[in-house]
A and B are shown apart, each in its own frame.
Chain A
Amino acid sequence: KNQVEQSPQSLIILEGKNCTLQCNYTVSPFSNLRWYKQDTGRGPVSLTIMTFSENTKSNGRYTATLDADTKQSSLHITASQLSDSASYICVVSASVTGFQKLVFGTGTRLLVSP
């Protein structure tokens, strides 16, 4: 069964600290993996998109890694800011006969405390 599991469900860190969010998937055949940031009351915003051949991709203070062998991805946030408080959603695409089936994780809710 195609699944995406994210951990932890929620996380509180102090401003300025680093943190790492995890995404494990069983989606097959794998096409790509996306990380989104969703602020409360707003639509998700894309952070990174990674294909099978990419191990790491950065977007400012956000760095995503992908290990296609173990089917794991992580999102590392460096020097956290209050504005990083949001839900982070991992989405994995499976390539199915010409189009993509999207499998969503339920997200990690991050709170950055001053």
Chain B
Amino acid sequence: KAGVTQTPRYLIKTRGQQVTLSCSPISGHRSVSWYQQTPGQGLQFLFEYFSETQRNKGNFPGRFSGRQFSNSRSEMNVSTLELGDSALYLCASSLDRFSSGTNEQFFGPGTRLTVL
């Protein structure tokens, strides 16, 4: 079974631009969560999508948004990029809603975003 895939793996943008990252979950998984990881802050939860609906949200500004499609694939969008948005963005999938129990989460390799 293929794992979680994320595209692109690396991305360089400039301040003020917007970016869209893509995540394909493990086949059969219906929940997709997004995380931001930086050296200073560590892993921070962005949001979780399940059945095309956002089910849980972290403390990030509205510039960060996402969506999930009927095939469970998910996209994350960051508008008006700032230097501080440079980070590794990780996507994780689970069979059921991750935030509702002890469901195991499987992470993708991440997208390394650099904002210049």
Contacts and interface: CB of A to CB of B under 8 A. Distances in A.
Nearest to B108: A43
Contacts of A51: 102
B81 to A, nearest CB: 22
Interface residues of A, number: 19
Given A43-B90, A89-B42, A98 B100 contact: yes
Residue among A43, A46, A91 facing the most chain B CB atoms (10 A cut-off): A43
B102 A104 contact: no
A99 B99 CA distance: 5
B113 to A, nearest CB: 14
- Tell me whether chain A's interface is mostly helix, strand or loop, or mixed: strand
28 contacts: A32-B102, A42-B110, A43-B90, A43-B92, A43-B107, A43-B108, A43-B110, A44-B43, A46-B104, A49-B104, A51-B102, A91-B43, A98-B100, A99-B55, A99-B56, A99-B97, A99-B99, A99-B100, A100-B56, A100-B98, A100-B101, A102-B58, A104-B42, A104-B44, A104-B45, A106-B41, A106-B42, A107-B42
Interface residues of B, number: 24
Contacts of B58: 102
Given A89-B43, A99-B56, A46 B105 contact: yes
A45 interface: yes
A91 B106 CA distance: 14
Contacts of B105: 46
Interface string A81-95: 000000001010000
Nearest to B57: A99
A45 B107 contact: yes
Interface of A: 32, 41-46, 49, 51, 89, 91, 98-100, 102, 104-107
Given A42-B109, A89-B42, A100 B100 contact: yes
B54 to A, nearest CB: 11
